[in-house]
Structure 1
Amino acid sequence: MNKGRVTVVDIARAAGVSKSTVSLVLQASPLVNEATRAKVNAVIRELGYVYNRGAANLRQSASSRIIGIIVNDLTNSFFAELAVGMDMVMQSAGYVQFLSNSGESVDRQREVIASMREHGIAGLILSPARGTEAADLKQLTASGIPVVAVVRNVVGAKVSSLFSDNYAGAKDAVRHLISLGHRRIAFLGGIPNTTVFAERVEGWRDALAEAGLDAPDALVIGTTASRAGGVAAIERALLLPGQPTAALCFNDAAAFGVCDGLRAGGKEPGRDFGVVGFDDVIEAETAVPALTTVSVDPQGMGRRAAQLLLKQINAGRVEPEAIVSSVRLVVRQSCGAGQKTKRMSA
């Protein structure tokens, strides 16, 4: 059978019916009896065939000029900036983008991928929803459609990947807080059981161990990776028997929430408590106090992801690549750098 995209002819051959019968089933025609319909649909599911609504138009051109982009949380400005970076490259290359937000729902993500396949996408850039498995991308990769995973990995999937150096970024951030005199440093925000969370916590833990400091599990407080999650995390942290004096936050959104929660509790970020974020979104520089953060350069990451996808599309074959982009700590006011602050002993 054809190793590329599954066709109506492939379905007809496997089901033992005519091509016209398969077409009638795809059109939900009442002319097909239920037994035949069930048999054809079973083969369609087995072979992973997707009815391409745009096929007639696409045949008129050499290839599709549509790119699919799916992010897991478009309410987070990091992903908006990531998408802007992709758009810069794709638009100049003459591609149209379909952008969708999975909202961390694997089911929603599957529906969107199926819809994008129907419209004949030339490739997909995906920031996977939590719980995404290799099987969720199997039909895309089996059809020869290139996929680039950004931010998060999909274990076992034969796709290209682009991630930031989460471990090194977290370690540098905690080392900086230690250099400022902090001895009890928390890790706040983010959803546990994700690769990114694990890598950043590992960097936090190893930096503390390197300085001979304790890294108790109680100081790791996972919540949603959002402003509200940051508020909830700092509220819990301030109730601990030995309060932390600083925190590395999972991302900038959580860091902004931590600053909000500190003020609500009568503490001023940057003066009474050191705060470091992760991402360096546009708002980080203009926040009050300006946010110290690990710069990932989301727009730059978006551009690199788009370039990686175009490279595969232009090559006409899928050869997965794994790229880890470097990060850097941007020191501003929220960590208390340059101030003599009172530190609580651990």
Structure 2
Amino acid sequence: MGGPRRGASRATTIVDIARAAGVSKSTVSLVLKGSPLVKAETREAVEQAIERLGYVYNRSAANLRTARSSFVGMVISDLMNPFFTELAVGIEDALYNLGFIPILANTNEDVERQARVLQSLREHGVAGIVMSPARGTDAWSLAELLPRSMPLVVTMRRIEGSPAPYIGPDNRVGCRRAVEHLIGLGHTAIGFLGGDGTMTTQRERVSGYRDALQAAGLPFDEALVFESMPTRAGGVEAVTAALASPLRPTAVVCYNDIVAMGATRALTVRGVRVGVDFAVVGFDDIVEAENNAPPLTTMNADTRQMGARAAQGLLGLIGGADPAAMSFTGDSRLVVRESCGAHLRQKPIREAVR
């Protein structure tokens, strides 16, 4: 009635290999899959343990487990930004309704942190990943981190050169409409605030800004593009530079609502009446926009719906759909509130003050 005989022990498992090699179970799994992420000396230690213990890797069983994984990665670039919080809620709700459990990670706009997160998600065998990339993410580095077999959807920020489907708003057309609105209110000196040229989203929105000016016969001047971090503090910095500029715009379109909120606060502190002396338009229409002082005119990108679209696109990839068919570029709708001065349209525009 004693314990099992030595010669009749159970089959060797990955846990046994990990214990013998002094590594984690996830590392053993990466070695078995031929991952290039494992150091040579670690790989050798694992392979020696496999040979010593006589482990046989059942690849078909492993593939079946991966295919049935109910976990997916949800990688968000900046959860401190209310826009990305709303996006994450849209993704999470849709994933839950589709029967998946998201593993949420915030990269805080750090590409190195993002790399560690993606590697960890791979090690945990997620069925796929939906990601809003950190600033500076490039296609080559992403390809190094994730095999083409890993279902991946990129949302809100394109990664130029990446085959991963993109789901997000049409930034160029949306920003063009915002500028056209300001031109229609009589503005001819219009600036662009926030973001920088390393960001695909910023480049797309600046392109829309340029399109609208040129279509109206107004000159595009790079001196009226005031780059800054896409934050409230960045909005303060950018609008301060705009007011000090010799060109002194009477209106601005902002990279996002957060920049616009920083700008409206800075203008108010300086005694510039937003919506009277100076027009401000944002982008995204986050929940806070309506409660800004004054309420913010902005482009509604239907953030939660975009999040749901991203989740559905990921499910399609997991099911074997063509990545090209999963891409989706949505429309943006102008929401007019007080910050642009449309309610005072009959009155002349006053020059911005220093």
Fold agreement, TM-score > 0.5: yes
**Of the candidates 126, 138, 143, which is equivalent to residue 138 of structure 1?**
143
**AA at the equivalent of 1:132:** T
- Are the equivalent residues in 2 in contact too, given 1:22–1:40 (CA < 8 A)? no
Measure how far apart 1:318 and its partner are: 5.6
1:271 aligned residue (276, 294, 306)? 276
Looking at structure 1, the residues matched to 193 and 109 of structure 2 have their Cα atoms a distance apart, in angstroms, of 20
Task: State the SS of the aligned residue for 1:176.
Answer: helix
Query: Which of 231, 234, 254 matches 2:236?
Result: 231
Native 8 Å contact 2:119 2:145 kept in 1: no
Partner SS state of residue 317, structure 2: helix
Q: Using the TM superposition, give the Cα deviation of residue 316 of structure 1 relative to its aligned residue in structure 2, in angstroms.
A: 3.7
Give distance in 2, aligned partners of 1:36 and 1:264: 59
What letter is aligned with 2:111?
V
Where 1:153 maps in the other structure, the secondary structure is coil
The offset of 1:24, in angstroms, is 4.2
| 1:200 Cα offset (Å) | 0.6
For 2:23, the equivalent position in structure 1 comes to: 27
In 2, Cα distance between equivalents of 1:88 and 1:77: 17
CA distance in 2 between partners of 1:310 and 1:254 (Å): 33
Instruction: Verify: 1:153 aligned to 2:158, yes or no.
Output: yes
Structure 1 residue identity aligned to 2:349: K
Preserved contact between residue 25 and residue 40 of structure 1 (Cα < 8 Å): no
Alignment of 1:1-346 (within 5 A): 24-25=20-21, 27=23, 37=41, 40=44, 63-138=68-143, 142=147, 144-313=149-318, 315-316=319-320, 319-320=323-324, 321-339=326-344, 340-344=347-351
* 1:73 and 1:101 in contact (8 A); partners too: yes
- Please state how far the C-alpha of 1:121 moved relative to its aligned partner: 0.7
CA distance in 2 between counterparts of 1:111 and 1:60 reads: 23
Q: What runs of 5+ residues in structure 2 fail to find an aligned partner?
A: 1-15, 25-38, 48-60
How far does the alpha carbon of each residue in 1:227-265 deviate from its partner, in whole angstroms, 9 at most, with x for none? Answer: 110011001110011311000000000000010110121
| Maintained 8 Å contact 1:188/1:249 | yes
Give the drift of 1:190.
1.2
Distance 2:116 2:86 in 1: 24
SS of alignment partner, residue 73 of structure 2: strand
Task: For residue 23 of structure 1, report the CA deviation from its aligned partner.
Answer: 7.7
Cα distance in structure 2, aligned partners of 1:243 and 1:175: 19
Paired residues of 1:144 and 1:317 also in contact (CA < 8 A) = no
How many angstroms apart in 1 are the aligned matches of 2:118 and 2:111? 10
| Aligned AA (2:351) | M
| d(CA) in 2 for partners of 1:261, 1:129 | 27
Change (3 A) 1:300 1:38: closer
Change (3 A) 1:269 1:239: same
Q: TM-score, normalised by structure 1?
A: 0.82
Q: Which runs of 5+ in 1 are unaligned?
A: 1-19, 29-34, 44-55
Distance (whole Å) between structure 2 residues aligned to residue 302 and residue 39 of structure 1: 39
TM-score by length of 2: 0.80
| Mapped partners of 1:216, 1:61: distance in 2 | 52
Q: Residue 142 of structure 1 aligns to a residue in which SS?
A: coil
Number of matched pairs? 309
Residues 174 and 333 of structure 2 are in contact (CA less than 8 Å); yes or no, is this contact kept in structure 1? yes
Distance 1:41 1:285, change over 3 A: farther
State the Cα deviation string for residues 7-48 of structure 1 (Å, max 9, x = none). xxxxxxxxxxxxx989844628xxxxxx983663899xxxxx
Whole-Å separation in 1 of the counterparts to 2:307 and 2:180 = 28
8 Å CA contact 1:277, 1:292 repeated in 2? yes
- 2:21 touches 2:46 (CA, 8 Å); kept in 1? no
SS in 1 for 2:261: helix
Q: Percent identity?
A: 42
CA apart distance, 1:139: 5.5
- Per the alignment, do residues 242 and 23 of structure 1 end up closer, same or farther by CA in structure 2, a change over 3 Å counting? same
Question: 3-state DSSP class of the match of 2:338?
Answer: coil
